[in-house]
Amino acid sequence: MTDPRRLEGLLALLAFGLTIPAANWLIGHAGTVCVPNGPCLIPVAPGVMAPSGVLMIGLALVLRDFVQRRLGLGFAWAAILAGTALSATLAAPSLVIASAVAFLLSETADLLVYTPLQRRSLVLAVLASGVVGLVVDSVFFLGIAFGDLSFLGGQVIGKLWMILLALPLTAWLRRADERRGILPV
């Protein structure tokens, strides 16, 4: 019989890995406005636009937490390293360093905040680690890629939406784990 935690963890790992190519595709192909030779943008708040890929980055932060919850810290670190390599491979040539560094630092920051909080409060751990991760990702990506943080607000808001949308699922997962007697790995 297959351990449901392992299957759930592998699905989260697969989804985590898919957020990287999805973010790269979205940024160049989907948005309400696509800037010539630039990103496609979406509204993330009234009057605030952000590259469409930010949605997948926000989701990646949550999925990494789920990978760790189901498969353990070793898998989480391996996912971060593989995601960094994939991010560097798929990013536009002018954004390779910014993309890889921002991914590595933001996912590591997420892990460092999530790990001590997860046993006390899963929802708080996902929220707090996601907020830290999205700020780190946004600051490093924009700083390295463009030397300019003027789009920081849109980046943060866009990623935050995905984290907030994942919180009800996170609460459900915690309750389901408690009913099944499952503790984080």
How many Å apart are CA 3 and CA 48, to the nearest integer?
A: 44
How many Å apart are CA 135 and CA 133, to the nearest integer?
A: 6
pLDDT, tens only, 166-180: 999 999 988 888 888
How many Å apart are CA 3 and CA 1, to the nearest integer?
A: 7
pTM: 0.88
Q: How far is CA 87 from CA 19, 101, 105, 128, 178, in A?
A: 10, 9, 12, 23, 35
Which pLDDT does position 154 carry in this prediction?
93
Three-class secondary structure of residue 51 per DSSP: strand
pLDDT, mean of each 10-residue run, the chain (185 residues): 81 94 89 85 93 91 93 94 90 86 94 93 94 96 89 93 94 86 69
CB–CB of 79/91 below 8 Å? no
How many Å apart are CA 137 and CA 131, to the nearest integer?
A: 10
How many Å apart are CA 163 and CA 168, to the nearest integer?
A: 10
Q: Does domain 4-179 have CATH number 1.20.1510?
A: no
Three-class secondary structure of residue 147 per DSSP: coil
- What is the residue extent of each domain of the chain? 4-179
Q: How far is CA 37 from CA 92, 94, 178, 182, in A?
A: 11, 12, 49, 49
Q: What does the buried/exposed string (b/e) look like for 100-117 if buried means 16 or more CB atoms within 10 Å of the residue's CB?
A: bbbbbbbbbbbbebbbeb
- The contacts of residue 127 (CB under 8 Å, 6+ apart) are 163, 164, 167
- The contacts of residue 129 (CB under 8 Å, 6+ apart) are 61, 65, 109, 110, 111, 112, 113, 114, 117
CB–CB of 59/166 below 8 Å? yes
Which pLDDT does position 185 carry in this prediction?
58
